[in-house]
């Protein structure tokens, strides 16, 4: 008989304990590695099929791969959304609890796409990978440094193919790749400083969402317990599901820089081959809201370059912009931008454009020949890596993305703690602030256990 009932806490814990202790290779070997040829269809599960990003992730997967893979199972805490998306893609196996999905389908699955809420990314993705499942995880990878580090270590230990949801790498026009080539060819000389801005905010705008009071009824089709996952219990309020509040409240997200930052910061780290920052400074509201991120920040990460000299990377959100830059080296009218300031000029880039400044200096500039081939698609790259069993084919894999995601999370942690500047020791996974260190591994809800290495 097919099981559809919810697992008890004890049976769930026993399942995860057995998977962790006995080992993936002997119990839950991914099907593609166990008995399939490289040309066989992958069985893919999707966890989190509604919301703002999942529908696009699913459709892009189908388009990128021309429908070559099988969507075996869908999971979402909202049953109405789950049924709607499952019907659309003709997915038979449907779950409101990812743990039940793993219990029933881990042996058949090859890979999962994790598009749940930010605060559950870490637990779901690390659990899936610990079961030997290849993982595509939306950004941000997780809300705490400890979770991010765990995800990276499991991915490396299990030698899994992983991809982070920075779809800009496959954007039409390949502006990011053309920018890599310009920087590496020395078009703007030696990069001295980097400025990023992203105009927007996830802060709540309605009064009842700015100050949610009391408890509201949980929708009948909604599994609030699984939605909360590992975070400490709090009474349900409809504000938790609001837009854009669900990406601002501290219990579920880290605000705008965590949601949008990876799309731009990823490029900076790749173009300049950065290592973790040595210091992080935060200039935001003097008194952060205790419930949500207000997204009015200027963050500065200071890295050490290969030549030993410091490199500052700045982030601005809301309507904040860099100050003091020469007008002929920047276009502040763009809503989103990365500006690489070099000794010979500057390069401003984002999804749909890249421009060299001063424009008159580069009017007759001949760009270097492209060295990056057109993208085959972000999801297809991941799928082909799985079939070839070559994790290195995934350009934005979890171990790589973990470093800049940690840097983002630490900046948010400093902001929440009211600490203006911290020193970061990546190897020891600690800062020079006990208040910030308290956020590195937060307290998790009893019964929602992470895998152990």
Do the beta carbons of residue 97 and residue 118 sit within 8 Å?
Answer: no
Does the residue 104 lie in any domain? Answer: yes
Percent of the chain's residues with pLDDT above 70 = 91
Is the pLDDT at 13 greater than 70? The verdict is no
What CATH number corresponds to the domain at position 324? 3.30.360
Does the residue 146 lie in any domain? Answer: yes
User: Do residue 189 and residue 77 come from a single domain?
Assistant: no
User: Do residue 278 and residue 149 come from a single domain?
Assistant: no
Average pLDDT over residues 399-426: 97
Any idea which residue has 């869908």 for tokens? Answer: 74
Does the residue 131 lie in any domain? Answer: yes
Any idea which residue has 């499942």 for tokens? Answer: 133
Average pLDDT over residues 8-23: 41
User: Do residue 261 and residue 318 come from a single domain?
Assistant: yes
Average pLDDT over residues 416-434: 97
Sheet holding 430-431, edge to edge: 353-357, 346-350, 336-342, 191-198, 310-317, 298-304, 279-283, 421-425, 430-431
Tell me the backbone φ, ψ of residue 323, rounded to 5 degrees.
Answer: -115, 145
User: Do residue 38 and residue 141 come from a single domain?
Assistant: yes
User: Do residue 192 and residue 337 come from a single domain?
Assistant: yes
Does the residue 353 lie in any domain? Answer: yes
User: Do residue 309 and residue 390 come from a single domain?
Assistant: no
Do the beta carbons of residue 325 and residue 331 sit within 8 Å?
Answer: no
Is the pLDDT at 25 greater than 60? The verdict is no
Any idea which residue has 């800049």 for tokens? Answer: 404
Does the residue 132 lie in any domain? Answer: yes
User: Do residue 298 and residue 388 come from a single domain?
Assistant: no
* pLDDT for the residue 36: 53
User: Do residue 388 and residue 341 come from a single domain?
Assistant: no
Does the residue 365 lie in any domain? Answer: yes
Domain around 28 = 9-169+382-397
- Strands 279-283 vs 298-304: parallel, antiparallel or unpaired: antiparallel
Is the pLDDT at 222 greater than 70? The verdict is yes
Mean pLDDT of the chain: 91
Does the residue 118 lie in any domain? Answer: yes
What CATH number corresponds to the domain at position 81? 3.40.50.720
Is the pLDDT at 404 greater than 70? The verdict is yes
User: Do residue 335 and residue 388 come from a single domain?
Assistant: no
In tens, the pLDDT along 231-283 reads: 999 999 999 999 988 899 999 999 999 999 999 999 999 999 999 999 999 99
In tens, the pLDDT along 342-368 reads: 999 999 999 899 999 999 999 999 999
- Strands 421-425 vs 279-283: parallel, antiparallel or unpaired: antiparallel
User: Do residue 181 and residue 141 come from a single domain?
Assistant: no
User: Do residue 137 and residue 272 come from a single domain?
Assistant: no
Is the pLDDT at 101 greater than 90? The verdict is yes
Among residues 203, 220, 201, 188, which one has the least CA distance to residue 77? 220
User: Do residue 146 and residue 180 come from a single domain?
Assistant: no
Average pLDDT over residues 185-207: 95
Does the residue 217 lie in any domain? Answer: no
In 186-212, which positions are buried (b, 16+ CB within 10 angstroms) versus exposed (e)? ebbeebbbbbbbbbbbbbbeeeebeeb
* pLDDT for the residue 38: 57
* pLDDT for the residue 30: 53
Please give the tally of structural domains in the chain.
2
**What pTM value is reported for the model?**
0.91
């Amino acid at each position: 008989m097919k099981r559809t009932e919810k697992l008890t806490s004890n049976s769930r814990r026993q399942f995860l304990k057995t998977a962790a202790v006995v080992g993936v290779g002997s119990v839950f070997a991914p099907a593609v590695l166990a008995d399939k040829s490289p040309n066989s269809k992958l069985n893919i599960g999707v966890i989190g099929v509604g919301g703002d990003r999942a529908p696009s992730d699913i459709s892009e997967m189908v388009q990128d791969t021309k429908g070559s893979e099988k969507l075996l199972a869908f999971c979402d805490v909202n049953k109405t959304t789950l049924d709607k998306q499952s019907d659309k893609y003709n997915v038979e196996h449907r779950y409101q609890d990812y743990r039940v999905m793993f219990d029933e389908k881990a042996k058949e699955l090859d890979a999962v796409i994790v598009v749940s809420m930010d605060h559950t990314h870490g637990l779901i993705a690390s659990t899936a990978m610990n079961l030997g499942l290849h993982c595509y995880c939306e950004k941000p990878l997780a809300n705490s440094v400890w979770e991010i580090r765990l995800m990276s270590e499991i991915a490396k230990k299990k030698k899994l193919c992983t991809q982070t949801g920075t779809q800009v790498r496959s954007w039409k026009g390949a502006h990011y790749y053309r920018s890599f080539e310009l920087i590496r060819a020395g078009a703007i000389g030696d990069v001295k400083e980097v400025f990023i801005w992203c105009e927007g905010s996830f802060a709540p705008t309605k009064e009842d969402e700015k100050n949610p009071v009391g408890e509201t009824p949980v929708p009948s089709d909604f599994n609030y317990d699984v939605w909360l996952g590992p975070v400490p219990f709090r009474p349900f309020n409809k504000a938790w599901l609001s837009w854009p509040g669900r990406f601002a409240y501290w219990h579920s997200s880290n605000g705008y820089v965590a949601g949008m930052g990876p799309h731009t910061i990823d490029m900076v780290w790749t173009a300049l081959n950065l290592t973790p920052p040595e210091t992080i400074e935060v200039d935001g509201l003097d008194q952060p809201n205790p419930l949500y991120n207000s997204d009015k920040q200027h963050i500065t990460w200071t890295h050490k370059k290969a030549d030993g000299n410091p490199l500052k990377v700045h982030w601005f959100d809301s309507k904040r912009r860099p100050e003091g830059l020469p007008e002929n080296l920047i276009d502040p009218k763009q809503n989103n931008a990365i500006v690489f300031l070099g000794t010979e000029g500057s390069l401003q880039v984002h999804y749909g454009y890249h421009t060299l400044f001063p424009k008159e200096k580069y009017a007759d500039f001949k760009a270097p020949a492209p060295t990056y081939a057109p993208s085959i698609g972000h999801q297809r790259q991941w799928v082909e890596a799985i079939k070839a069993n070559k994790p290195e084919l995934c350009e934005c894999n979890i171990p790589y993305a973990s470093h800049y995601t940690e840097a983002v999370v630490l900046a948010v942690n400093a902001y929440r703690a009211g600490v203006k500047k911290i020193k970061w020791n990546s190897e020891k996974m600690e800062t020079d602030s006990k208040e910030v260190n308290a956020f590195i591994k937060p307290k998790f809800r009893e019964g929602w256990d992470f895998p152990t290495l």
